[in-house]
Copies of this chain bind each other. A is one copy, B any other.
Amino acid sequence: METLFLWPLIGGTLAIMVLIYLALDVMKRSRGNASMMEISDAIQVGAKAFLYREYIYISIFVAIVFAAISIVGELTPLGKDTGLSLQTGVSFIIGAFCSALAGFIGMSIATRANSRTTEAAREGGVKGALGVAISGGAVMGLGVVGISLLGLTFTLMAFWNEADRVASTAIINGYAMGASLVALFARSGGGIYTKGADMGGDRVGMVEAGIPEDDPRNAATIADNVGDNVGDVAGLGSDLMESYVEAIIAAMAIAVTLNAVGGGAMSLNMIMLPLLIAAAGIVCSIVGIFYIRAFAKSDPQKALMNGTYIAGGLAVLATLAIVMVFGENYTDDLATIFRGTAIEYGRMGIFLSTVFGIAAGAIIGFVSEYYTSHKYKPTRKIAENSQSGPALTVVEGLSVGMMSCTIPTIVLAGAIVASYWAGGFFGIAMAAFGMLATTGIIVSVDSYGPIADNAGGIAEMAHLDRSVREITDNLDAVGNTTAAIGKGFAIGSAAFAATGLLVAFIATARVNVDHLALANPPILAGLLLGGMFPYFFSSLLFGAVGKAAYAMIEEVRRQLRDIPGIMEGKAKPDYAQCVDIATKGAIRGMLLPGGLAIILPVVIGLSFGAEVLTGLLIGSLISGLMIGIQMANSGGAMDNAKKYIEEGMYGGKGSEAHKAAVVGDTVGDPLKDTVGPSINILIKLMAVISLVIAPLLIQEEVVVTPAVADQAAQVEVIQADAAVDAVAADRL
């Protein structure tokens, strides 16, 4: 076996070791007083109950998909001619298992870190509390990258066949699809759970009964806290794990296809490049995490941002070193199609592309913060509008979200073109992966948010001193900013990863690019249908949240009516019942949209062929990107506009402006926490499923043999824009 495989194994193992260290560090902290322990236990039990139930349903889907892949691959003539096989199915199951495992471990620690964070805030102030919260988050972050990298590398090693690299990498596409399927259900199920509980609970508690948020008299409180964990910890983790894995396999698939098409052969070094950079990225993330733990004093925001920047900067240097040592010059035959001639790329093109990806991620993250933080104008404008009633709050909130699509889209489009210019199609995939190289620290910082949020909830419910709540509120406010950046990053990386998958799909299915013309009516139809599907999918999720919230409202009202003494604090509400209702609502709501998302690309691909499927994927990428950004930022901005008013602006809490802002916040909740994040997964899942079934869609006689390529190139040269040729000739 190649020694190159060793590096990702070392990187993954390192992540797991640090994870264990941090988990033990969290576990040895004090859990606080009896009341705090009780609440924390209830959250743990609720979260575990949900995960178990969710995983049972996911297992059924996994089993069906596994059977479909294996049967088609092994038992039909179709499968024998193509790359699908039992091995792809096994790889799929491993991917699904790794994603579920990372989610389970991350959430187990996150739900244990919450009361410990509260206790640390009571004992030691900001620094101690931040340390516990970030350690808890880092367990999720390192779990995501460590488990996925180890799983991916082992799967690759198990099925590696040096004689047929194309088939070997095709098998691990199944791994990505497994991770993607779990992510879809984790994100959409978690999203329905958290917002059903939150919206339902807030409605009865804050509006009808007039009790504050997180008040223990509200039966939905525990379910709400569970929701923060299943939605924002496990959901976000599985989301970025998916992007991470997919960016890696997209780059590998393109590398082997460039190789297979003929012309410039790509060595194993180049195929392994993303795994090497991933390993280095893990080390950089660990450095960043320990920086945060060491230097967090009074300003948690600064510590978190600096830690992330340091990890990013180190990743750039590491990528440069890896490209210098392992990278090679290469020829991109795929480019022949568009540029009339194969193009030579220098290895520094790979480095440049990666940097473009990292830069694009940073900009998109910052733009999300600009549009959603109440330090800046857009969110303040929403707060100002709240003085004229809830309708103007919501309209402005929607408007801010729409406006926030502008720069990320331009940046993404620019990064795609720039990385293509620098490194061809391989460059695009490497840029997508560059954005994700430091996923470890990004998920850590993101998962810190819900832990801090939970810690605040526990302080409230356990009636701790105001000063404790102030510390956790401070941590929570920082968490909101990092969450906004994380969401922007998640959608940006999802779009980039989907683009990489798309290119890999076109290369793998050997789609006849002449047939791919935009103006071809069936493709246009595919684009339109693809553009529509995220809307349909979103609407189903909205419906599910509405139903879950409605059931929660009924239950909390019932308990307030039927259990005497709740409002006086003499009797305790039945939290478990609410947890159960939220779980049921989430499971029920996630099945239809998830199932449809899996089936649609298969049906379209098998019925209408690879070209129409390409149209479908790009249509859904366009719509999904916009909906994803808009919803994440509309919701984030309305949330923070409410917080801005609660800080005393426009009359503060209880004013008319505040009431209007609460309506805006509630509208924004399912946008930012259910629909928006699920859309990220949708566009990736559809692309990775297409990549897995790509071997089935290869058209006879369209293999680009050198002869045909030459002939095509001739026609191309006649037709090509002279300017493009000139540019191409100038290239290194």
CA gap between A417 and B667 in the complex, in Å: 38
Assess whether A21 is interfacial by the CB under 8 Å rule: no
A 574-609 binary contact with B (CB < 8 Å = 1; else 0): 000000000000000000000000000000000001
Is A650 positioned at the interface, with any CB of B under 8 Å from its CB?
no
Give the nearest-CB partner of A518 in chain B: B516
Q: A391-B666, A405-B535, A546-B399 are in contact. Are A499 and B524 (CB under 8 A)?
A: yes
Closest to A207 in B: B389
A666 to B390, CA, bound (A): 9
- Chain A positions 695-732 with a Cβ under 8 Å from a chain B Cβ: 699-702, 708, 711-712, 714-716, 718-722
Assess whether A715 is in contact with B722, with CB atoms less than 8 Å apart. no
Chain B residues with CB below 8 A from A398, complex form: 542
- Cβ-based interface call for A15 (8 A): no
A360 on the interface (CB 8 Å rule)? no
User: Does A663 lie at the interface of the complex (its beta carbon under 8 Å from any beta carbon of B)?
Assistant: yes
When each residue 603-631 of chain A gets 1 if its CB lies under 8 Å from chain B and 0 otherwise, what string results? 00000010000110011011101100010
Q: Is there contact, CB below 8 Å, between B199 and A391?
A: yes
A54 at the interface (CB under 8 A from B): no
Give A514's nearest chain B residue, CB to CB: B514
Question: Can you give 8 contacting A-B residue pairs, CB < 8 Å?
Answer: A337-B519, A392-B550, A403-B536, A513-B514, A514-B514, A516-B519, A518-B523, A530-B622
| Known interface pairs A512-B719, A524-B618; A388-B553 also in contact (CB < 8 Å) | yes
Candidates B207, B390, B399; contact of A539 at CB < 8 Å: B399
B715 touches A514 (CB 8 A): yes
The answer for the CA separation of A353 and B541 in the assembled complex, in Å, is 37
CB distance from A25 to the nearest CB of B (A): 41
Q: Choose, from A151-159, A274-282, A408-416, A560-568, the stretch at the interface.
A: A408-416
Report chain B residues within 8 Å CB of A414.
525
B416 touches A521 (CB 8 A): yes
Mark interface residues in A383-407 (1 if CB within 8 Å of B CB, else 0).
0010011111011101110110110
Structural contact, A528 and B406, CB atoms closer than 8 A = no
In the complex, the answer to whether A402 meets B539 with C-beta atoms within 8 Å is yes
**Of B524, B529, B702, the contact of A410 (CB 8 Å cutoff):** B529
Whether B623 pairs with A622 at a CB distance below 8 angstroms is yes
A519 and B503 in contact (CB under 8 A), knowing A406-B532, A528-B409, A663-B389? yes
Interface presence of A262 (CB below 8 A): no
Q: B536 and A406: CB pair below 8 A?
A: yes
Asked if A203 CB lies within 8 Å of chain B CBs, one says yes
Verify if A549 is at the interface (C-beta below 8 Å from B).
Answer: yes
Task: Find out whether the CB atom of B527 lies under 8 angstroms from the CB atom of A618.
Answer: yes
Q: How far is the CA of A623 from the CA of B628 in the complex (A)?
A: 13
> How far is A351 from B490 in the complex, measured between Cα atoms in Å?
49
Closest residue on chain B to residue A617 by CB atoms: B518
Rounded to whole angstroms, the CA-CA distance of A516 and B519 in the bound complex is 8
Q: Are B623 and A626 in contact (CB under 8 A)?
A: yes
A190 on interface, CB distance cutoff 8 Å: no
- Report the minimum CB–CB distance from A497 to chain B (whole Å): 14
Residues of B within 8 A of A389 (CB): 203, 207, 663, 666
